Amino acid sequence: MYELGQAFATRIELDELIPFVIATCREVFDAQGASVLLLDPTTNELYFPYASSDDPEVAARLARLRIPIDRGIAGRVLKSRRVEKVDAVQSDPRFYGDADRVTGISTRSLIAAPLTSGDVALGVIEVINRRGGGIFSDDDTALLETLAHSIAVAIANARRFSEVKTSAELLRAQVGALRRDLPRRERFAEIIGTSRAMSEVFKLVDSAAASSLTVLIEGETGTGKELVARAIHRTGSRADGAFIAINCAAFAETLLESELFGHRRGAFTGATRDEPGLLRAASGGTLFLDEVGEMPASMQAKLLRVLEQGEVIAVGDTRPHKVDVRVVCATNRDLKAAVAERTFREDLFYRIAVFPIRLPPLRERREDIPLLAAQFLSSAAKNDNKRITGFDASSLDILERCNWPGNVRQLHNEIARAVALAKDGDAITPAHLSSALAAASETPAISPPASDATPRPFKPMAPHATALREARAAFEADHIARALAEHNRNVSRTAAALGISRVALQKKMKEYSLR
């Protein structure tokens, strides 16, 4: 008894303790089977935290089985807090046969003992069917009752260790996510805009922050979708919780599942420790899913489960974990079209689009360009430790006339580049702006056509307007921007339409600040 108690106490993780308890009890009692059932106090149900079976499917079904506490012999034992020996189980009116139906084992006799720690009910331990026939003895009953005390203490300790470990894992995940988040936080200080279009956005942000609805932020790349998500979080009831952002397009399917839902140690090669995942790390706060339209179909179904049931199952685990997290999604795609094309789940679309917010492209709020440019100029000059006196009239005119296919992000990058080129004490002139931008501003600013519209032909500029190389660059940037808009900024489809490789298109997008 002393040796077994010591052996139980040295195993401080439930995943090691429960299998060891089961194997030990089968050996000590010469039993065909043994099981530990733990109590879920939120539902008053008993469940199997571990199932030993040669058939993985049987083990998985047993792991999903839930037994109401007011049903079965185990429930009665836990309620009475007294050990019971039943010699003819099948004839006992309390017998709950779902476990037999799942495992295919016929329970003939059993001993069940309660697992309690102080006044707290933890669960029940059972041994069933003595090998070779016969029934268990009274000595067996007394022995299991005594062992149950040591097992209960070990389970209580393992749970405390698990809670501390989980807290440390969640803290590590939150710190890691926040560290990755710092560069994005510093990129733009705040949402800037006084135009009518942005006034409508601000109203919607205020309403979204005051509710708990799932928000879908729609808009072209570079319009500031993450800034709006942060504003909703910062002004809402979850402001004290974590804000964690993830780009769904940046991960392969298997990595995205592990990143969001977490994984158990040993779930795959390289999984050397348990990871809680970002959904659990963001519990109590907000999880921002950028480019949700790029999420694989299998992941869409799992996300729907999270939104509907508020629980996640880590990779390599069978037990769900409850999460309390607000999900804010963003996309630069037309998700309604994706639903029609069956590339995005209709039920998930209506679940995430409860409160849609559309962000206008920069070309639809040109009156905000001087404000944005001034803010970016101030920030870039401070970072470069330069004194820049502002913009001259011609450079500001170029900025206001540009079509900005890359939206606010492109404007930010353009200003940062101009400040880097300018000397201390200078004002920003057209010479500091990129040639493609200057060339594009020579033609009337026009919006990219809608996906069902026919693009207007490119009109050649006057021969004296600019050099051929610059004109060609302006035409190429405009043509690529139109193609991206026509294909909802899907890089693969745009590249195919343009007759170039995906890599080549990405280089062009970077060159012309169209990302």
- Does pTM surpass 0.85? no
Q: Which CATH number is associated with domain 2-161? A: 3.30.450.40
Summarised one tens digit per residue, pLDDT across range 108-126 is 999 999 999 888 899 999 9
Instruction: With H, G, I as helix, E, B as strand and everything else as coil, classify residue 461.
Output: coil
Are residues 488 and 336 in contact, defined by beta-carbon separation less than 8 angstroms? Answer: no
Question: What local confidence, expressed as pLDDT, does residue 185 receive?
Answer: 46
Q: Which two tokens stand for residue 223?
A: 């319009």
Summarised one tens digit per residue, pLDDT across range 24-67 is 998 999 998 888 999 988 888 998 887 665 566 777 778 888 88
Taking alpha carbons only, the member of 513, 367, 514 closest to residue 433 is 513
Cα distances (Å, whole numbers) of residue 25 to 14, 55, 100, 280: 16, 21, 19, 35
Q: Which two tokens stand for residue 169?
A: 């894992």
What angle separates helix 196-209 from helix 225-234, to the nearest 10 degrees? 40
Decide yes or no: CATH 3.40.50.300 for domain 197-358: yes
Question: What local confidence, expressed as pLDDT, does residue 470 receive?
Answer: 62
CA dihedral 320, 322, 326, 329 (to 10 degrees): 0
Are residues 418 and 382 in contact, defined by beta-carbon separation less than 8 angstroms? Answer: no
Fold for the domain defined by 362-511: Helicase, Ruva Protein; domain 3 (1.10.8)
Residues 245, 104: Cα–Cα separation, whole Å: 46
Summarised one tens digit per residue, pLDDT across range 238-279 is 888 889 999 998 888 888 999 999 888 888 888 788 888 899
Question: What local confidence, expressed as pLDDT, does residue 188 receive?
Answer: 38
- Categorize the per-residue pLDDT at 456 as very low, low, confident or very high, splitting at 50, 70 and 90: very low
Are residues 307 and 329 in contact, defined by beta-carbon separation less than 8 angstroms? Answer: no
Summarised one tens digit per residue, pLDDT across range 466-494 is 455 666 777 778 788 888 877 777 787 78
For tokens 């069933």, the residue is: 128
The helix (run of H) or strand (run of E) holding residue 67 is: strand 66-68
For residue 463, give the amino acid letter: P
Task: Give me the residue spans of the domains in the chain.
Answer: 2-161, 197-358, 362-511
